[in-house]
Amino acid sequence: MATLNKTLGEICELLGEGELAGDAGFLCRELRGLEDAGPSDLSFVKGRKQIAAARASGAGALLVPERIEDSSAHQIVLAEPFVALTRVLARIGADKRVREPGIHESAVVDASASIGLDAYLGPGVVVERDAVVGNRAVVHANAFVGPRCVIGEESVIHPGVILREDVRLGDRVTVRSGTVIGSEGYGFLPTGDRPFGIPQVGGVNIGEDVEIGALATIDCATFGRTEIGSSTKIGDMVHIGHNCRIGRNVMLLPMVGIAGSVEVGDGALLAGRSSCADNLKIGKGAQVGANSVVFKDVGDGEIVWGRPARPKTKEMRIQALLGRLPELFRDVRRIMES
């Protein structure tokens, strides 16, 4: 439930923009879609195509791109209502995650660990030796914080997260449930009659404002550190191999798989279920299409797609020809038989 309980004036103050057309004291109870909204709810109009739906909506207040003159709803007029909505959603999410500071009686904290001001440690949390939990950080139930880990200020660690030894998280990092950071990577050499394991003894560095989805895995480096740049967003069930260097503002959508020692440039995007072989470089601002498999370097700003990944325009031509294979086969056979 997206509970607001804020006046339109408070919402305008939260957004820091917008022209209020209506009563600043109107109390918005909840945030709902146009079809479901009632007289005490706030809704939004994404664009001009939704104006008619907004007129028919029962919403008491609206975020709109332009004033709707024949609507009885209170309105906040904004250049980009949907972008403004994301800020409202962020506030709702932050309010939901508020925890009173303190350490639950069932938490186990090593005497050498440092717990910051106003931090929260939930039931069953384990904090190992020489670990640091920053000011106002939240570590939810049954999370494990390994030796020498650092959790930055105002970071949120969801239930069941495992941070192995020597993992460093910057400020305002979010790690969702089931994720494991700093586990040993897949380091084996086929020697003789059995694989030989390569010890993985490095750590993981994660920058500020990074978000990591549920059930993701980020391996520690063989030595040195696996690196994740600030403001990067990592989806559910993403795997990042040992010694990878992921840049700033990168988007890794759910189920992406990146093998060891890959470098991903700032602002790159890897769409869902795409994967990348080891020791490659994906350039700044590059895009890898969904379900693609990358076997060679991708240049800055390049868009690739397919299995193997090729420049998008080339792959689209190939896919178009594949759809004509039965017809082409008949033509070739007719030529050969003539």
Structural domains in the chain, sorted by start: 3-96 (3.40.1390.10), 103-315 (2.160.10.10)
Higher pLDDT, 286 or 14: 286
| Whether the model pTM is above 0.75 | yes
Question: What is the reported pLDDT for 203?
Answer: 97
Mean pLDDT, rounded, for 191-211: 91
> How far is Cα 113 from Cα 21, in angstroms, rounded to an integer?
53
Question: What is the reported pLDDT for 4?
Answer: 85
Lowest mean pLDDT among 117-131, 255-269, 324-338: 324-338
pLDDT at 187 over 70: yes
Q: What kind and span of H or E run contains 240?
A: strand 239-240
pLDDT at 97 over 80: no
CA 46 to chain centre: 23
Higher pLDDT, 86 or 294: 294
Per annotation, catalytic residue among 140, 158, 239, 242: 242
What are the angstrom distances between the C-alpha of 263 and each of 175, 227, 277, 306? 22, 9, 11, 20
> How far is Cα 300 from Cα 315, in angstroms, rounded to an integer?
18
Residue 238 sits at φ, ψ, to 5 deg, of: -85, 140
pLDDT band at 1 (very low <50, low <70, confident <90, very high): low
Known catalytic membership, residue 74: no
Per-state percent for the chain, helix, strand, coil, to nearest 5 = 15, 30, 50
- Token pair, residue 322, equals 């594949």
Question: What is the reported pLDDT for 194?
Answer: 87
Q: pLDDT exceeding 70 applies to what percent of the chain?
A: 99
What are the angstrom distances between the C-alpha of 86 and each of 24, 46, 62? 21, 12, 14
Q: DSSP labels for 72-140?
A: -SEEEE-S-HHHHHHHHHHHHHHHHT---SEE-TT-EE-TT-EE-TT-EE-TT-EE-TT-EE-TT-EE-
pLDDT band at 284 (very low <50, low <70, confident <90, very high): very high
Q: Which tens digit of pLDDT belongs to each residue from 70-91?
A: 888 999 999 888 888 888 888 7
